[in-house]
Amino acid sequence: MPTQAYFKKYPAFPSDIPTAQLPRLSLSKLLDHEKDESDALFKACRTMGFFLLDFEGCSEGEGFLKKAEAMFDLNEEVSAVDVDELLRYSYRPPHSLFGFKPIGNIKIEDGRPDRVQFYNIGQDDMTGTSKPLSNPPCIEARRPDIKAYMEQAHSIISLICSHLDKQLHLSPGTLISMQPRNRPSGTSLRMLKYPPQPEGDQRTSLLGHTDIGTLTILFNITGGLQLLSPGADPKDESSWMYIQPAPGCAIVNLGDAMVEWSAGILRSNMHRVTFAPGEQGKVDRYSLAYLVRAVGDASMKRLSGDGSLIPGLSEGEEENEMNAKQWEVAKGMAIMSGRDNARSRGGREIMVG
């Protein structure tokens, strides 16, 4: 999350709330290609699909934290724009996910409306891969800053993928080649706002789901994000654990595309957003998600063969014949209608040694 200075602006996370215990990995050690850290990354990606990435202790990471704080400031600016004005830039899922989503137009598990608004800024728009899109003036004025944030975020994604390539015995550059920054994709920077919920009516703000894409880098300061315990029933409320934000760290999680490509070795875990605990629930909750998608024509077939750890098809298994764009549209339509039937996926056991 952003630095300690930003955490001091908000009430503290309650000390008596049970939390999910995520592995905490060091960007500095991953940059140095330390074997133990690479092994820990691979384990986290196979068992939980979530981990904390600590940016402190190296210039690259601390520079990225400063960029994240600037994006948090921009999120507040965007959220302060009148909703009627933001609706001029409405997104149109599932075919276009860029622009503004107002509160209430996605259903949660029980059919009631969500309690989150967000603005999706397209990476292609900011980096020049596509024609410029129309955005509110506060976003247009910050194009260079947004581009710089996205470029560094993607370099971090590339680093993570390089470690996973090696661990999966794939050729160097295999995973990142499916999600490059310089080709059109649905990759976006999502700026989210969750207003405080009324007392006596506190509930899920964003339904339980797995991410459609490849990897997500998430920054938040107040609680509300919950992880479903591995192997648990999502209908069991006691199985949802808060993730406590940590200064200097981002939450990184894997999406369904990584599960597809790895034939279930890598894991995407169900998560949701509910009300923030304690005094944090009385303030607006902001978060910042860099959501990486594969290029539209990328194959969703498993990356087996050529000595990789990824197994070929077993009897009864079917290959995913869709490309990334087709697959994302199908899943997006299911999410919008509330019939996604999301579940944690992956975590296939392999011999590691």
Give the β-pairing of 215-220 and 249-254: antiparallel
Q: Is the dihedral of CA 113, 188, 234, 195 positive or negative?
A: negative
- Predicted confidence (pLDDT) per residue in 183-238, tens digit: 999 999 999 999 998 888 888 888 888 898 999 999 999 999 999 998 888 889 99
Stretch 151-165: mean pLDDT: 98
Reading the block at residue 123, the tokens are 């990476």
Q: What integer pLDDT is reported at residue 112 of this predicted model? A: 84
Give the β-pairing of 225-228 and 271-273: antiparallel
Q: What integer pLDDT is reported at residue 206 of this predicted model? A: 84
Q: What integer pLDDT is reported at residue 279 of this predicted model? A: 94
- Predicted confidence (pLDDT) per residue in 5-20, tens digit: 889 999 999 999 999 9
pLDDT confidence band for 106 (50 / 70 / 90): confident
Reading the block at residue 95, the tokens are 């075919």
Please check the confidence at residue 73 and state whether its pLDDT lies above 70.
Answer: yes
Q: What integer pLDDT is reported at residue 343 of this predicted model? A: 75
* More confident position, 96 or 162: 162
Q: What integer pLDDT is reported at residue 256 of this predicted model? A: 93
Q: What integer pLDDT is reported at residue 1 of this predicted model? A: 67
- My answer on whether omega of the bond before 94 falls inside 30° of 0, hence cis, is yes
Which amino acid, one-letter code, is at 137? P
Q: Give every strand in the sheet of 249-254, ordered side by side.
A: 24-26, 50-54, 249-254, 215-220, 285-291, 188-194, 117-122, 99-101
Which amino acid, one-letter code, is at 152? Q
Phi, psi (deg, nearest 5) at residue 253: -140, 155
Phi, psi (deg, nearest 5) at residue 2: -60, 180
Please check the confidence at residue 352 and state whether its pLDDT lies above 70.
Answer: no
3-state secondary structure of 74: helix
Integer Cα distance of 345 and 49 in angstroms: 9
- Cβ atoms of 159 and 99 closer than 8 Å: no
- Cβ atoms of 94 and 186 closer than 8 Å: no
SS3 content of the chain, % helix, strand, coil (to 5): 35, 20, 45
Q: What integer pLDDT is reported at residue 84 of this predicted model? A: 96
Please check the confidence at residue 178 and state whether its pLDDT lies above 80.
Answer: yes
- Cβ atoms of 205 and 292 closer than 8 Å: no
Q: How far is CA 159 from CA 27, 60, 173, 231, 271, in A?
A: 9, 12, 10, 29, 24
Please check the confidence at residue 340 and state whether its pLDDT lies above 70.
Answer: no
Q: What integer pLDDT is reported at residue 337 of this predicted model? A: 61
Closest CA to 168 of 43, 34, 304, 308: 308
Please check the confidence at residue 338 and state whether its pLDDT lies above 60.
Answer: no
Please check the confidence at residue 34 and state whether its pLDDT lies above 60.
Answer: yes
- Per cent of the chain over pLDDT 70 is 95
Domains defined for the chain, CATH in brackets: 4-304 (2.60.120.330)
Exposed e or buried b per residue across 275-297, where buried means at least 16 C-beta atoms within 10 angstroms of its C-beta: bbbeebbebebbbbbbbbbbbbe
Which residue has tokens 């703000």? Answer: 205
Please check the confidence at residue 21 and state whether its pLDDT lies above 90.
Answer: yes
Q: What integer pLDDT is reported at residue 339 of this predicted model? A: 58
Please check the confidence at residue 97 and state whether its pLDDT lies above 80.
Answer: yes
Reading the block at residue 178, the tokens are 């499916």
Q: What integer pLDDT is reported at residue 347 of this predicted model? A: 67
Please check the confidence at residue 163 and state whether its pLDDT lies above 80.
Answer: yes
Which amino acid, one-letter code, is at 215? L
Q: How far is CA 3 from CA 75, 144, 166, 246, 260, in A?
A: 16, 22, 32, 9, 35
Q: What is the 3-state secondary structure (H, E, C) of 276-303?
A: CCHHHHHCCEEEEEEECCCECCCECCCC
